[in-house]
């Protein structure tokens, strides 16, 4: 007596799994996402030999996060050897002396005054959009998203801006679990993305 033949096609299990896999891929946060980059084509970026990095705006939940990200950005910017970076204490003193209320979003006039007072060619501002753990179902990972603007000191005009997002819950995190990369690692990768775009 012959065995009973299955009513289902041999590919039936994959037909059920495929939509879920595609959905997972579509919903997964990009592990190495880069944001838009703007660069003024008329600007000679080699002329920017000194910069002041203002305190970053914090849109993330962690109140201490902007200080950490700003510190990493300043260290890597200085380590590039391309520019001199003014120490943060001097930047805070100058901003206070000029009465700048929102150092992460100065007016062109404030940028010009600040650059003149500190004798720098450029002023950098930043915004931290995300920093910390994200969860998708049972998967947990770390994410950082940061945007940077560079103002020319002489005119107060934005000559470069970029954003970068690193980390997030990816496909492998969803399938196999894991906590993702440490915050410091993905923060350094996001900053490297930004500086690569600035100095390329």
Please report whether residue 88 resides in a domain: yes
Question: Which H or E run contains 22?
Answer: helix 12-27
Q: Are 153 and 112 contacting, i.e. CB atoms less than 8 angstroms apart?
A: yes
The Cα 12–Cα 192 span in angstroms is 45
Q: Is residue 172 part of a domain?
A: yes
Structural domain includes residue 9 = no
Q: Would you say 56 and 191 are in contact if contact means Cβ atoms under 8 Å apart?
A: no
**pLDDT 10s per residue in the chain (200 long)?**
455 555 555 554 544 444 444 344 334 344 444 458 999 999 999 999 999 999 999 999 999 999 999 999 999 999 999 999 999 999 999 999 999 999 999 999 999 999 999 999 999 999 999 999 887 766 788 999 999 999 999 999 999 999 999 997 654 454 545 556 889 999 999 999 999 988 76
Q: Residue 21: what pLDDT?
A: 41
pLDDT at 14: 44
DSSP 63: T
Q: What's the confidence (pLDDT) of residue 48?
A: 94
Where do the H-state alpha helices sit in 60-167?
65-79, 88-97, 108-118
Domain count, the chain: 1
Whether residue 136 is contained in a domain is answered as yes
21 assigned to some structural domain: no
Rounded Cα distance between 90 and 118, Å, is 8
Burial 73-101 (b: 16+ CB within 10 A, else e): bbeebbeeeebebbebeebeebbeebebe
112, 119 contact by CB (below 8 A): no
Q: Is residue 47 situated within a structural domain?
A: yes
Closest alpha carbon to 200 in 80, 51, 31? 80
The CATH number given to whatever domain includes residue 186 is 3.40.50.10610
In 86-175, the DSSP E strands lie at 122-136, 139-152, 158-167
Q: Which of 198, 118, 115 is nearest to 159 (CA)?
A: 198
Find out whether 118 and 52 touch, Cβ atoms under 8 Å: yes
Domain that includes residue 146, residue range: 32-199
pLDDT, position 199? 76
pLDDT at 33: 46
Q: How far apart are CA 183 and CA 57, in angstroms?
A: 18
Residue 127 domain-assigned?
yes
């Amino acid at each position: 007596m012959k065995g009973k033949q299955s009513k289902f096609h041999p590919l039936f299990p994959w037909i059920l799994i495929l939509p879920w896999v595609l959905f997972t891929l579509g919903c997964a946060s990009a592990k190495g996402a880069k944001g838009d980059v703007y660069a003024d084509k008329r600007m000679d970026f080699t002329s920017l030999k000194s910069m002041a990095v203002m305190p970053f705006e914090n849109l993330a939940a962690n109140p201490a996060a902007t200080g950490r990200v700003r510190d990493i950005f300043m260290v890597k910017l200085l380590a590039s050897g391309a520019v001199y970076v003014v120490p943060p204490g001097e930047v805070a003193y100058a901003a206070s002396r000029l009465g700048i209320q929102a150092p992460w979003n100065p007016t062109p006039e404030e940028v010009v005054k600040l650059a003149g007072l500190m004798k720098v060619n450029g002023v950098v501002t930043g915004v931290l959009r995300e920093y910390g753990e994200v969860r998708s179902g049972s998967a947990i990972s770390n994410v950082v998203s940061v945007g940077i603007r560079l103002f020319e000191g002489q005119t107060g005009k934005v000559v470069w801006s970029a954003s970068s997002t690193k980390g997030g819950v990816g496909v492998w995190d969803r399938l196999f679990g894991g906590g993702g990369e440490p915050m410091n690692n993905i923060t350094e990768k996001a900053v490297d993305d930004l500086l690569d775009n600035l100095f390329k």
